[in-house]
Amino acid sequence: MTRFGAAALCSLILNHAAIAQDDKSKPSPTDALAIIDLSAGNPSAVDKLARAGAPMVPAVSKFLKDTDAKVRGLAALTLGKIGPAAKGAAPALAACLADADTTVASQAAQALARIGAEAAPAIAAVLKKDANPDVAVRAAEALRYLGSAGKESVPALIAVLKKPGRTENVLPIAEALGKIGPDAASAAAELARTLAPDYGKEGKGAALIREGLIVHVVPALKRIGPGAKAAVPALLALLKEKRVAGDPLALMILDALGSIGSQTEELTPILLEQIEKKQGPRLLLYRTLAKTGIPKKEHLNAIALGMRDKNPWVRFYAAALVGKLEPNDPAVVSVLIESLQEMESALRKEAAILVGALRPRDASVRDALTQLARDPDEAVRRAATEALKKYDK
């Protein structure tokens, strides 16, 4: 675009911007010059226009369709710096995710991320129209910053995962699905499929890519939580791989299984062995065992050692495990009372919930629970009150 043409366009779009913003004051000459600089691909325009803020959004958005990739990129960069106030540009920025210039597409993704949750519908609309893996990867770059607001994009991301393509495309998509969290539960089965030993096995650097898959997919499943139960068999199979056994990756897998919380007999002996051999943080191991394990009588002596641990959470999880089979065991009762009186409110709350589930007969446990119903923390009070109701049934 010529400087003369840019000046004419500048006058038109700035007047339109002023009307659109219902702003009684016209844009300043400085803003007009900055628009001209932007049209010429001058990076100095970015900060000037970003400082001007929301009134410049309609004007800057026009340049997302410029024939010069440098200008399109600077426009996206400017809108990103304006931030949430540039939400009106979200549809135009989302369209740029399909830009032939990868730099422009990446800058558009970053701008959408900086706009925030209100950009999510525009991203979902683009993905619905265009399930191209490259577009999905760029969309994922933005979605990983938008949290649960990105849930409308989940079906499109699943569709991309099902398509044959570059294995490395899975990494940003998995991360985005994990950041979306429980609302991405429908993606669990497809994410689990990528953990199979033969997935992406062919090609140069296959081993490194597989490591990358594990490091991205497993935490994503952890963030999805209980809704990711479809992935449990794949996680268990991964845990048993000789290549992974004893590796830090094993702890990552155990952490994910603990968050998902699907109980399975297979996991109990694995966790007990790791506890005995001290192959990981005791808190993580006991927490995962409490969330997923199915203890048997022969396991109780090994598990009960945790009730003497220095960490109050380890003691709590050990008591929860033993309490499943022996709720009136004196050591279990002692740990439950301690946990109900702990300084940490989260532990008091969990202890109240557990007491409601186990309902030990010892009167001192109920007395401690009654006192907890007057706790200064509302969530703790609620948990204690619900537990007392279970005693009364």
Domain-embedded: residue 322: no
Report the phi/psi class of residue 148: left, alpha or beta, with left for phi > 0 and alpha for psi in -120 to 50: alpha
- What pLDDT does 270 receive? 82
Cα distance between residue 388 and residue 381, in whole Å: 11
Same-domain pairing of 137 and 172: yes
Q: For 226-245, b where at least 16 C-beta lie within 10 A, e where not — what string?
A: ebbbbbbebbbebbeeeebe
Same-domain pairing of 354 and 222: no
Same-domain pairing of 136 and 158: yes
- What pLDDT does 15 receive? 52
Domain-embedded: residue 221: yes
Q: Which of 228, 245, 261 is the C-terminal boundary of a domain?
A: 261
Q: For 275-289, b where at least 16 C-beta lie within 10 A, e where not — what string?
A: beeebbebebbbbbb
Same-domain pairing of 87 and 209: no
CATH number at residue 257: 1.25.10
Nearest Cα neighbor of 111 from 98, 94, 127, 124 is 94
Find tokens 């410029």 and name the residue: 66
Domain-embedded: residue 71: yes
Cα distance between residue 385 and residue 105, in whole Å: 53
Report the phi/psi class of residue 263: left, alpha or beta, with left for phi > 0 and alpha for psi in -120 to 50: beta
Q: Which of 94, 115, 136 is the C-terminal boundary of a domain?
A: 115
Backbone angles phi, psi at 95, to 5 degrees: -65, -30
- What pLDDT does 24 receive? 43
Backbone angles phi, psi at 30, to 5 degrees: -60, -40
Domain-embedded: residue 295: no
Query: Which pTM does this prediction carry?
Result: 0.79
Q: For 138-176, b where at least 16 C-beta lie within 10 A, e where not — what string?
A: bbbbbbbbbeebbbbbbebbbebbeeeeebebbbbbbbb
Nearest Cα neighbor of 60 from 98, 14, 115, 108 is 14
> Domain tally for the chain?
3
Same-domain pairing of 249 and 128: yes
CB neighbour list of residue 85: distance below 8 Å, 6 or more residues apart:
53, 54, 57
Q: Which domain holds residue 357?
A: 327-393
Find tokens 């139960």 and name the residue: 229
pLDDT along the chain (393 residues), means of 10: 48 47 55 80 89 91 94 95 95 96 96 97 93 92 96 95 84 96 96 86 66 91 95 89 66 90 82 81 89 86 92 95 93 96 96 95 93 95 94 75
Q: Write out the DSSP string of 15-71.
A: HHHHHHTT-SSPPPHHHHHHHHHHHTT-THHHHHHHHH-GGGHHHHHHGGG-S-HHH
Residue 266's CB is within 10 A of a number of other CB atoms, namely 14
- What pLDDT does 180 receive? 97
- What pLDDT does 27 receive? 58
Query: What pLDDT digit, counting tens, does each position of 158-216 carry?
Result: 999 998 777 888 999 999 999 999 999 999 999 999 998 888 665 566 667 778 889 99
- What pLDDT does 12 receive? 47
Q: Which of 95, 115, 135 is the C-terminal boundary of a domain?
A: 115
